[in-house]
């Protein structure tokens, strides 16, 4: 969030949700998360424009957030946030520094920045553990209500910090990936709170069978690499769909997966394609995805033509890459079946209910509200991942992850949740004033954004859409804009719109102010809500 001063202010909220790397089929492996800023924070003192020394960027603050916005009597929990008013100036309107677009907006508009930790992530939890029953208040709507309550009631650790609500200063909501979608959903659901929004790679359309995740990868990966990957995948699907047990075992052994018994776990090796999400305009030689393609396409120092080397070489080279480096990268020497299998209900991936488990928190949202299952494509679309992995494969994992809530796959409300999210928060049909969408052509999450292929969302002066050649949330990073002029153009356009919109802000009338629920007690909830 960006907070701009009393006559022209902005609070910029950017929630960065770190999701731990998980192997193979586990649902959180390629979650829609914004990348960590590439530039390190300054180790020196933080000094405001007027020379005042400020707390370090990593200073953690606590906000008493409502446990349940529908029942304030339950009290509050401690929600963490980070904040700086390095650029803030009275009489003006902001990740915290100008190494991100948040800080660029704050610097341009003389605003302050805030990063708010999402409920049920990190140490911002209203419950003692992350059992399924304890996660019932982990919903998109509760997260939206958190933003409203925070903006209207927080006392910020800065001059005049008790008088900087949206009634006295314009707040700008900023998010990337899931939090970019949350920016859009919040502005639709709470149109009177945030004056403007910046939504990067915002996955606004919940999609259950999100096979489109792999389309931008297929379209923009090296042509020789995509050709050979398609050839290998077609071969794997053909062999695994047949009854030749010897041929099946040969393929399993090729990747060092001979001990695995479930063919969908073996065929589901989407890992090499998921590595694409880690790329940015600053990525170069040594990036894991490029190492993978080099392993397939460079033979005796010679690059393959656009058509690739063909099935035989690609199959052998892919197997060598896994056996020589990639299996150790994924599993670190652990048992391959334990590491890559998805069928063991006693796996720690499913049974670890301790707090600060971002993967588990995200999987709850996947199972209940957004889907985003990254599966093989329809038959009429070229496949760079197996078609043998379809929604039932992933929905089954919801049952294993939350057996105290779901007795079977039929109990998982994913389809209904996806439909509700798209209806309530409008998805691709979003139409809201002063919301800037920034997207990247190479983003694997592009097909869930307003820039998806075949989706005609108009770009207007009140809801602009800008797309560059970047990857996932590339436009959030100043460094990416410094090396890719198309990303920089997106950032420049956004800054211009923010300047115009914030100049138009006036305090809302008293009649338009919302009543905000208050907690009846400020106790920290420790007993769970199950």
Instruction: Report the pLDDT averaged over residues 278-282.
Output: 95
Please check the confidence at residue 130 and state whether its pLDDT lies above 90. yes
Residues belonging to the active site: 177, 443
Mean pLDDT score, 229-242: 98
pLDDT of residue 14: 33
Contacts of 507 (CB under 8 A, 6+ apart): 167, 168
Bigger pLDDT: 328 vs 46 = 328
Tell me the pLDDT tens digit for each residue of 450-493.
999 999 999 999 999 999 999 999 999 889 999 999 999 999 99
The residue-averaged pLDDT of 160-169 equals 90
Compute the distance between CA of residue 271 and CA of residue 131 in angstroms, rounded to an integer.
Answer: 27
pLDDT at 86: 56
| Burial class of residue 191, CB neighbours in 10 A (0-12, 13-18, 19+) | exposed
| pLDDT at position 298 over 70 | yes
pLDDT band at 522 (very low <50, low <70, confident <90, very high): very low
Hey, what domains does the chain have and what are their CATH numbers?
Answer: 2-20+59-204+425-507 (3.40.50.1820), 209-416 (no CATH)
pLDDT of residue 56: 73
Q: pLDDT at residue 28 above 80?
A: no
Stretch among 109-118, 330-339, 361-370 having the lowest mean pLDDT? 109-118
Check residue 108 and give its pLDDT.
Answer: 86
- Residue 165, pLDDT > 80, answer yes
- Residues 6 or more apart whose Cβ sits within 8 Å of residue 316: 254
Rounded (10°) CA dihedral 5, 95, 217, 421: -60
Model pLDDT, residue 6: 34
The 3-class SS string of 82-139 reads EEECCCCCCCCCCCCCCCEHHHHHHHHHCCEEEEECCCCECCECCCCCCCCHHHCCCC
Of 106, 112, 121, 118, nearest to 186 (Cα)? 118
Query: What's the average model confidence in pLDDT over 248-262?
Result: 97
The per-residue pLDDT for 104 is: 84
Task: Output the pTM of the full model.
Answer: 0.89
Give the pLDDT band of residue 18 (cuts 50, 70, 90).
Answer: very low
Please answer whether residues 100 and 14 qualify as being in contact, where contact means their C-beta atoms are separated by less than 8 angstroms: yes
Start-end of H helices in 190-282: 215-220, 223-240, 245-254, 263-267, 271-274
Q: 92 vs 5, 333, 393, 506, CA distance in Å?
A: 5, 55, 52, 12
Higher pLDDT, 45 or 227: 227
Give the Cα separation of 381 and 53 in Å (integer).
57
Judge contact between 180 and 440, C-beta under 8 A: no
User: Residue 87: is its pLDDT beyond 90?
Assistant: no
- Percentage of residues in the chain having pLDDT higher than 90: 74
**Would you place residue 159 in the very low, low, confident or very high pLDDT band (cuts 50, 70, 90)?**
confident
Question: Which ranges of 284-370 does DSSP label H, i.e. alpha helix?
Answer: 288-297, 311-321, 327-331, 336-340, 348-351, 358-365
Calculate helix-pair angle for 358-365, 391-401, nearest 10 degrees: 120
CA 50, 51, 53, 55 torsion-angle sign:
positive
């Amino acid at each position: 969030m960006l907070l701009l001063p009393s006559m022209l202010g902005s609070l910029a909220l950017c929630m960065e949700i770190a999701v731990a790397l998980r192997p193979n089929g586990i649902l959180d492996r390629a979650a829609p998360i914004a990348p960590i800023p590439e530039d390190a924070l300054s180790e020196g003192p933080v000094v405001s424009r007027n020379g005042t020394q400020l707390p370090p960027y990593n200073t953690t603050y606590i906000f008493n957030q409502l446990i349940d916005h529908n029942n304030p009597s339950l009290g509050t929990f401690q929600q963490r946030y980070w904040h700086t008013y390095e650029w803030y100036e009275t009489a003006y309107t902001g990740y915290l520094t100008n190494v991100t677009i948040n800080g660029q907006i704050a610097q341009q508009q003389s605003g302050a920045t805030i990063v708010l930790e999402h409920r049920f992530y990190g140490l911002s939890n209203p419950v003692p553990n992350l059992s399924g029953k304890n996660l019932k208040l982990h919903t998109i709507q509760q997260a939206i209500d958190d933003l409203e309550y925070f903006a209207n009631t927080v006392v910020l650790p800065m001059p005049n910090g008790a008088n900087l609500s949206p009634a006295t200063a314009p707040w700008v909501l900023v998010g990337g990936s899931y939090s970019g979608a949350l920016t859009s959903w919040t502005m639709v659901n709470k149109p009177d709170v945030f004056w403007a929004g910046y939504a990067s790679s915002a996955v606004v359309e919940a999609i259950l069978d999100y096979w489109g995740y792999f389309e931008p990868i297929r379209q923009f990966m090296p042509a020789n690499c995509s050709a050979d990957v398609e050839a290998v995948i077609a071969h794997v699907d053909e062999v695994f769909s047949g009854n030749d047990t010897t041929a099946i075992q040969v393929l399993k052994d090729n990747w060092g997966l001979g001990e695995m018994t479930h063919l969908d776990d073996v065929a589901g090796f989407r890992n090499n394609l998921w590595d694409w999400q880690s790329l940015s305009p600053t990525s170069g030689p040594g990036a894991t995805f490029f190492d993978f393609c080099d392993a397939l396409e460079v033979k005796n120092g010679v690059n393959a033509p656009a058509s690739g080397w063909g099935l035989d070489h690609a199959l052998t080279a892919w197997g060598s890459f896994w056996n020589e480096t990639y299996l150790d990268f994924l599993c670190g020497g652990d048992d391959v079946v334990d590491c890559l299998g998805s069928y063991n209900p006693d796996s720690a991936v499913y049974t670890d209910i301790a707090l600060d488990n971002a993967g588990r928190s995200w999987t709850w949202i996947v199972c209940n509200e957004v889907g985003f299952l990254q599966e093989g494509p329809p038959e009429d679309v070229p496949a760079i991942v197996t078609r043998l992995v379809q929604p039932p494969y992933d929905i089954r994992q919801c049952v294993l992850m939350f057996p105290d809530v779901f007795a079977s796959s039929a109990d998982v409300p994913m389809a209904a949740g996806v439909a509700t999210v798209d209806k309530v928060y409008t998805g691709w049909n979003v139409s809201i004033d002063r919301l800037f969408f920034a997207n990247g052509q190479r983003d694997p999450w592009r097909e869930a954004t307003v820039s998806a292929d075949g989706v005609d969302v108009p770009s207007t002066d009140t809801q602009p859409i800008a797309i560059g050649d970047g990857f996932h949330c590339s436009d959030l990073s100043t460094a990416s804009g410094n090396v890719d002029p198309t990303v920089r153009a997106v950032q420049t356009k956004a800054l211009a719109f923010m300047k115009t919109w914030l100049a138009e802000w006036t305090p809302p009338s008293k009649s338009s102010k919302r009543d905000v629920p208050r907690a009846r007690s400020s106790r920290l909830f420790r007993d769970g809500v199950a």
